[in-house]
Structure 1
């Protein structure tokens, strides 16, 4: 068993609060010391009360699923002798009403593009299987109700 922590910090300062006109900008700090600017999504809370330059929880959720999948994929590829040169994903999360009628991240679709060395490229079937196994092993995908799809990009 492992435990993971983060620190989330927000300060009101001199702005009003009870009128609901306050900045949702805040920061996330992680165990390695990095601090990340965060905010509500401008799709949820309009400007100027959101910071579009900061990471919002919805974006972080999508990136977390993609990152976990990638890390499992890289590990599995290495074990099978497939040398990866580059991995890029442009995941998309869809916010919609779930079965209970509440807004939720209902689907996250990954679009990974992987470049291998010429001497160790998997077949299309092996690549699909690697992605399937990575999805099955991903801690984050195993932790959520969100449907996670993977559509590898073939070149």
Structure 2
């Protein structure tokens, strides 16, 4: 077993002068930082009094799942001799709110994968399951992450 460690900085930018004296008295804005990377501007989602021009945690979770699947899929493609020339995804997630809390109940990844060999279309479709099993982020969540892949042959 090998442990990998990750670190970043998070700074809340929302004190409007009276801190959290009331629910409407502070901004949800923050900035995420990491050495050698551009800052990432964050907030809460608009229904939770956030700034819609900034990334919210729900979008970042969806992005992490989609990006992890992409990277795992590309690795599986190499292992199976599939040449991928393009990959785009349009994932969607569902979060159910109950009172003050809530949780994600599902994520659907919808990758559109372009490959070079028409004889490998079905294999290219089936390795999404393998990629999902190898995705560290998908293995860390307690809700289903499913796939609706589209495989396209280049040319």
- Same fold, TM-score > 0.5, yes or no: yes
Structure 2 vs 1, CA of residues 112 and 79 (structure 1 numbering), >3 Å: closer, same or farther? same
Long gaps (5+) in structure 2: none
What RMSD, in angstroms, separates the aligned Cα atoms of the two structures? 2.0
The answer for unaligned runs of 5 or more in structure 1 is none
Q: 1:144 aligns with which of 123, 141, 146?
A: 141
Query: Residues of 2 paired with 1:30 and 1:146: CA distance?
Result: 28
Which moved further from structure 2: 103-112 or 27-36? 27-36
Alignment length (residue pairs)? 147
For residue 153 of structure 1, what is the aligned residue in structure 2?
A: 150
After TM superposition, give the deviation of residue 5 of structure 1 in Å: 1.0
For the residue of structure 2 that corresponds to 1:82, the secondary structure is: coil
TM-score computed with the length of structure 1 as normaliser: 0.86
**CA distance, structure 1, for counterparts of residue 14 and residue 53 of structure 2:** 19
Asked if 1:16 is matched to 2:21, the reply is no
Q: Match of 2:5?
A: 3
Query: Match for residue 106 of structure 2?
Result: 107
Give TM-score scaled by structure 2 length: 0.86
**For the Cα contact (< 8 Å) 1:97–1:106, is it kept in 2?**
no
The 4+ residue runs of structure 1 with deviation greater than 4 A are: none
The residue that corresponds to 2:33 in the other structure is: 29
Aligned partner of 1:53 in structure 2 is 53
CA contact (8 A) 1:83 1:120 kept: no
* Residues 67/79 of structure 1: CA separation in 2 closer, same or farther (3 Å cut): same
Instruction: Please say if residues 82 and 120 of structure 1, whose CA atoms lie closer than 8 Å, have aligned partners that are also in contact.
Output: no
Distance 1:121 1:2 in 2: 38
8 Å contact from structure 1 (residues 65, 141) kept in 2: yes
